[in-house]
Amino acid sequence: MPRPVLWSFRRCPYAIRARLAIRCSGVPVELREIVLRDKPPAFLAASPSATVPCLVTPERVIDESLDIMHWALRQNDPEAWRDMPPEGADWITRCDGPFKHALDRVKYASRYPQDDPAQHLAAARAFLTDLEAQLDLWLFDRPTLADMAILPFIRQFAHIDKPWFDAQPWPHLQGWLARFMASNAFAAVMPKFPRWQEGQPGLSFP
């Protein structure tokens, strides 16, 4: 059986969380790193949405990052990431919905000239303040799917203005992000993957 093909872009938070789950599961895939400004025809033919990540299995195409995480962890979940309180799914929904909406309009304000960046910054701050109240070391008593699905977006937000982020009264949130970025898991999914070339095999991952 051919390995599933994972189309990815290194810095995309959606792709990061898909790689995190695949790395945790140990399920082997062929990783094809692309550049979003120059999407190869093979990728565009594979992805219904033309966005990363996109996982092509022998049975189907999975075009949503959270679905890819569940696909990998249903096969093997050695750290029991999917065994989390029901509130974990609620945190992911808030991240993927209102928080990501606000994040984009803060980070890419010039793309949304009709919007008020200050209003969206306030919305993002509200979510992050709620996370601060929930966190100790992790969202629950140990790392779960919720942590790994959300942290790539916290990283993206923090790096809009890292000195500003570090100055906020969010010690648990800042520690959570720092532990994630110093982890072996993060290091394993963030090397500078070579760009996939048409006609060439992708990388074996993890």
User: Residue holding tokens 């500078």?
Assistant: 192
Averaged pLDDT for residues 8-25: 98
pLDDT in tens, 54-68: 999 999 999 999 999
Spatial CA neighbour of 18 closest among 26, 5, 8: 8
Side-chain half-sphere of 8: how many Cα atoms within 13 Å? Answer: 31
| The two structure tokens encoding residue 99 | 């928080």
> For the chain, what are the domain ranges?
5-80+187-205, 87-183
Spatial CA neighbour of 180 closest among 140, 137, 141: 137
CA-CA-CA-CA dihedral for 7, 188, 20, 109, to nearest 10: -70
Residue 160's pLDDT band, with cuts at 50, 70 and 90, is very high
Spatial CA neighbour of 143 closest among 202, 78, 204: 78
pLDDT confidence of residue 1: 67
Averaged pLDDT for residues 22-36: 97
Q: The pTM is what? A: 0.96
Examine the pLDDT at 2 and tell me if it is beyond 90. Answer: no
Min mean pLDDT across 1-5, 97-101, 176-180 is at 1-5
Q: Which CATH number fits domain 87-183: 1.20.1050.10, 3.30.70.20, 3.40.190.290, 1.10.3210.10?
A: 1.20.1050.10
Percent of the chain with pLDDT strictly greater than 70: 100
| The two structure tokens encoding residue 85 | 């309180």
pLDDT in tens, 47-101: 999 999 999 999 999 999 999 999 999 999 999 999 999 999 999 999 999 999 9
Spatial CA neighbour of 14 closest among 66, 92, 56: 66
Question: Rg of the Cα trace of the chain?
Answer: 17
Q: Burial, 109: exposed, middle or buried (Cβ in 10 Å; 0-12, 13-18, 19+)? A: middle
Question: What CATH number labels 5-80+187-205?
Answer: 3.40.30.10
Strands annotated E in the chain: 5-8, 29-33, 54-56, 61-62, 203-205
| Neighbouring C-beta atoms of residue 168, cutoff 10 Å | 14
Region of residue 204 (left: phi > 0; alpha: psi -120 to 50; beta: else): beta
